[in-house]
Amino acid sequence: MLLDPLLVKAARGDVVSRPPTWMMRQAGRYMDVYKKLAEKHPSFRERSETTDLIVEISLQPWRAFQPDGVIIFSDILTPLPAFGVPFDIEEVRGPVIQSPISSEEGLKALHPIDLEKVSFVGESLRILRQEVGEEAAVLGFVGAPWTIATYIVEGGTT
Condensed to tens digits (0 to 9), the pLDDT of residues 39-72 reads 999 999 999 999 999 999 999 999 999 999 999 9
pLDDT of residue 24: 66
Percent with pLDDT over 90 in the chain: 74
Segment (H or E) for 151: helix 145-154
pLDDT of residue 123: 97
At residue 37, does pLDDT exceed 70?
A: yes
| Segment 21-35 mean pLDDT | 78
Q: Are 40 and 20 in contact (CB under 8 A)?
A: no
pLDDT of residue 26: 58
pLDDT of residue 157: 84
CATH of 24-154, one of 3.20.20.210, 3.40.50.10320, 2.60.40.10, 3.40.50.300: 3.20.20.210
Which of 82, 100, 98 has its CA nearest to residue 90?
Answer: 98
Question: Going by DSSP bridges, is the β-strand pair 88-90/94-96 parallel, antiparallel, or unpaired?
Answer: antiparallel
Q: Are 98 and 54 in contact (CB under 8 A)?
A: no
Q: Which residues face 156 on adjacent strands? A: 96
Q: Which residues face 88 on adjacent strands? A: 96
pLDDT of residue 155: 92
At residue 1, does pLDDT exceed 60?
A: no
Residue 133, Cβ density class (10 Å: 0-12 exposed, 13-18 middle, ≥19 buried): exposed
